[in-house]
Chains A and B, each alone.
Chain A
Amino acid sequence: MNRVLTSMVTFAIGLLIWGNEASAFCGFYVGKADTKLFNKASEVAIARHDNKTVITMANDFKGDVKEFAMVVPVPTVLERDQIHVGDAAVLKHLADYSAPRLVEYFDPNPCQMIYPESRAMDMMAKAAEPPGRQERDKALGVMVEAQYTVGEYDILILSAKESHGLETWLSESGYQIPLGASTVLRSYLKQNMKFFVAKVNLVEQAKLGFTHLRPLQIAFESPKFMLPIRLGTVNADGAQELFIYVLTKQGRVETTNYRTIRLPEAQEIPLYVKEKFGDFYRDLFTQQVKRESQRGVFLEYAWDMNWCDPCAANPLSTEELRTLGVFWQDSPSLTQRRGLMPQAQNVFLTRLHVRYDAAHFPEDLMFQETSDRNNFQARYILRHAWTGTDDCPAATTYRQQLRERYEREAQTLANLTGWNIGEIRKAMNLASLPKGEDMKWYQRLWTN
C-alpha cells in the first residue's frame, strides 16, 4: 500500500476562465487569473477573531483517493464538533472574488475632450482498530487523543511523547514518511502541538457519492495565529504555491516573520495580453518572487467584504462566510428582521500568495491583524486607443503620442514579467506604427 503523505495538496494546471463581462466603475472587468494557473498550489482560508480560528483546507487531490493522507500540526486536541467538511464551491467563490483582475478602458474622442489624457478612474483604484493496537500505540508513546469519521474522512488526533515513536506509528499505519520529517515532527511535539491526520474513508465516500474531496475545516481557540508550512517543505520537490485567504473583523493581515509585499498594480499593459492574461500573471508573479530573493509573501487582495470594484465575482453572502468560519456577524435572521439585505458586515478579506521552499522559508508563517482597512487589488489595465477619423489638433497630437504610449506599455510588460522586449514589440506590431517619437520637439509644437 503506497500512501502518499501530503501536508498540502497538489493542483493541476487549469485553463484560464474568462469571466462574465460586467461593467464597473473602475473600468470594464474583462478577466481574472485563476489559482489553478499555478502548479502544486494549495488553498487555505482562515477566519479569525479573538483567538478563535477556523481553518479551511482545500483538497483538489487528483490521484487515487486511497493514497490521500494529510498530516497537519494543530495547537489543541480537537473535539468531533470542531471538525467539519466544507463546500469547495464557497472556497472557489472566495478565490474568484479576490483574483487578480484585468480591466479595460476605451479612450474617448480627443476632439471632444478638454483633457483627453485624464484618467480620474485610476485614482479610485486604489475506525475500528485491530486488537492489540492500543498496546502498540502505548509502546511507541503515541496517544490517539481522538478519532472521528467526518463526511468522507477518517480523522485521528494524535499526540506523542517523542517523534521517533510518532514516525514509526505513522509508517506502521501505512503513511509514507519523507526523509527529514522526523526533525520537524519533534520540533512541533516539543511545542505542544498535536497532529491532525486525515484519510479518506472509501465506504463513506461511496455512500455520500462525492467524486472529489471536499475541504476539511477545523475550529479551535488558540493565541497562535500561524500556518504550519514546514512539513510541506520536507518532501517537496521544488517550491510550492500557497494561497491564503484570511477573513478578519478589524483589517488587513500580514506576516510578521516574512516581508509582506504588495504586488505591482494599476499598470497599463499592451492589449494583446487580454488573450494571455493567465500567462501574464503567472510570469509577473514569478518575476516578483525573484526580485524579492524568493523570500516574500505577496498581497494580492485586501478589501472590505461588502463590495468590490471592479468585481471579478460577487462578494460572498453572509451564509457563505459563515460556512467559512466567520462567526462574528449578526445572524441572518436578525439582519432580515431589521429589513436589511443579508450582507457581510465587518469582514475584511486579505489574500496572500506565497511560493515557498525550505531554504527560503525556514519558519512557519506567523500572522498579525492590523487596523489597516485600505483596499488593495492586483488590477491590470488595458487601454484601447481611440480609432475615430475626426481631425483636429488634439487628434493629431493624440495619434502622435500613441506610439510612445505603446512603447511605455511594452516596457512595463517586459519589466513586470521579464518577457523579451523585442518579442513584445513584435506582438504589438509596433514597427508598423508611425514613428511619433522621431519628431523634434519643435515639429510637434506646430503640427496642425
Chain B
Amino acid sequence: MRQDNDKSNEIKSTFWRDPRLYQIASLSTLLFYGLFWLHFDISTWQVAITLCVSQLTQFAGTRYFNLPLFDPKSAVISSLSLCLLLRTNDPAVAALAAFVAIAIKFLIRWNNKHVFNPTNLALVVILSSGLGWISPGQWGQVAWLGFLVACLGSLVVTRAARADVTLAFLTFYIGLLFVRTLWLGDPLTIPLHQIENGALLIFAFFMISDPKTTPDSRTGRIFFALMVALTALYVQFGLFKPNGPLWGLIVCSPFVSLLDRMFPGARYDWSKPTTGHDLVSIPLSLSLQPQRRFL
C-alpha cells in the first residue's frame, strides 16, 4: 500500500517537473494576449483545429507504433507554436500543418532521434507551398518583453538541461547583428529593433532547444547553434527573406547526426533531463519510460 503511494507520488512529482508544462503555460498566455489584445490574424477556430488535429495525430501515432504511453504535452507545444506563428485563411491548411508537425516525428527518424523539429518543418512546408505565411512584425514591444521574461524565467524554473543551445544561438545571432550594425555604422536602435520579434523568442526557446533534434553533446550543440545563426543571417541579409532562423534550422538539422558522431554524448529523455555529459541521470526524477520514445 505504502509502495503504491510512493509510486504515485513519484509519478506526480515527475509530471510536475516536466519543463514542458511551464512552456505550455507561457505559450498559452502569449496566445491569449495575441488573440485578444494584439488581434493576431487567427481565429479561435484555427486554434481549436490545430490543437485537435495535433492531438489526434499524436494519438494515432502512439497507437500505430505501439507506444506504451500517450503523452499530449509535446504535441500541445507544437500546436501552440503553430497558432502563434502560422497565418492562413484556410482551416484545412491549419489542419495540414498540425498533421505534418506531429506525423513527421513518427515518420522521419534517424538513429532513434527526430531529424527535424516538428513545428519548424510544418512551417517550412506551408511557407514554401505558398498556403500560408508568418507575420514576423505582429509583435508589439509589450508582448515581446513579457514573453522574454517568461522564456528566461522558464530556464530558471525548469532548470532546463539544454538551455546551452538557446543561449549559444541567441549570443551568436544577436552578437552578429550588432557586429553588422557597427560595421555599417548604423545606430544601435536598429539591431535592438530587429531582435524585438516574438518569433525569434519562440524559435530560440522552443524550437532550436528541442532536445530531440539537437546534438547530444554540449560542444555539438554550440557548434550547431553557430551554424543555424550563420544560415539565418545569410537568409536575412544575403537572400533578403524574412524568417531567417526558421530556414536556418531546417537547413542545419540534417547535420545533427554528423555532429553526434563527431562529438558523442548521452541521449535525452524528457523525464531525465541531462546536459549530455552525465551518462547517469541526475536525481531530478525517475525515468518512467526507459523504452524508445517518440515524444
Contacts and interface: CB of A to CB of B under 8 A. Distances in A.
Interface of A: 183, 186-187, 190-191, 222-226, 250, 254-262, 292-293, 295, 297, 362-363, 366, 368, 370-374
B135 interface: yes
Interface string B146-186: 00000000000000000000000000000000000001111
Contacts of A226: 240
B45 to A, nearest CB: 15
B29 interface: no
Contact of A258 (B41, B89, B137, B189): B137
B1 interface: no
Contact of A254 (B39, B135, B184, B186): B135
Contacts of B193: 257, 362-363
Interface stretch (B109-117, B125-133, B205-213, B261-269): B125-133
Contact of A223 (B87, B183, B240): B240
A295 B189 CA distance: 13
Interface string B221-245: 0000000000000000001111000
Nearest to A371: B130
A262 B40 CA distance: 10
B139 interface: yes
B184 A259 contact: no
Contacts of A183: 185-187
Contacts of A295: 140-141
A190 B184 contact: yes
8 contacts: A186-B184, A187-B185, A226-B240, A250-B130, A254-B135, A255-B137, A257-B137, A370-B87
Q: How large is the interface on B (under 10, 10 to 19, 20 to 34, 35 or more residues)?
A: 20 to 34
B147 to A, nearest CB: 15
Interface centre among B39, B89, B132, B239 (most CB of A within 10 A): B89
Interface centre among A186, A190, A255, A371 (most CB of B within 10 A): A371
Interface string B39-52: 10100000000000
B8 interface: no
A259 to B, nearest CB: 5
A224 B137 contact: no
Contacts of A363: 190, 193-194
A224 B240 contact: yes
Which 8 pairs of residues, A with B, have the shortest CB-CB distance? A370-B133, A362-B189, A256-B242, A223-B240, A187-B184, A256-B136, A224-B240, A362-B190
A397 to B, nearest CB: 33
B87 A372 contact: yes
Given A256-B136, A363-B194, A374 B89 contact: yes
A262 B138 CA distance: 11
B42 to A, nearest CB: 12
Contacts of B139: 259
A366 B89 contact: no
Given A190-B184, A362-B189, A260 B135 contact: yes
Contacts of A224: 240
B190 to A, nearest CB: 5
Contacts of A225: 240
Nearest to A184: B186
Judged by DSSP, the binding face of B is loop
Contacts of A362: 187, 189-190, 193
Interface in B86-122: 87-89
B200 to A, nearest CB: 12
B137 A259 contact: yes
A227 B181 CA distance: 19
Contacts of A259: 38, 137-140
A183 B138 CA distance: 29
Given A250-B130, A368-B242, A371-B131, A257 B184 contact: no
A257 B194 contact: yes
Interface string B52-88: 0000000000000000000000000000000000011
Nearest to A189: B184
A190 B138 contact: no
Nearest to A163: B185
A314 B108 CA distance: 53
Contact of A190 (B41, B183, B190): B183
A91 B87 CA distance: 31
Interface centre among B88, B132, B183, B185 (most CB of A within 10 A): B185
Nearest to B184: A187
Contact of A372 (B133, B184, B185): B133
Contact of A371 (B39, B133, B140, B141): B133
A221 B144 CA distance: 35
B137 A256 contact: yes
B245 to A, nearest CB: 13
B199 to A, nearest CB: 10
Given A191-B184, A256-B242, A362-B189, A293 B136 contact: no
B185 A368 contact: no
B39 A262 contact: yes
B124 to A, nearest CB: 15
B141 A257 contact: no
A297 B136 CA distance: 13
A261 B130 CA distance: 22
B186 A260 contact: no
Nearest to A190: B184
A371 B185 contact: no
Nearest to A226: B240
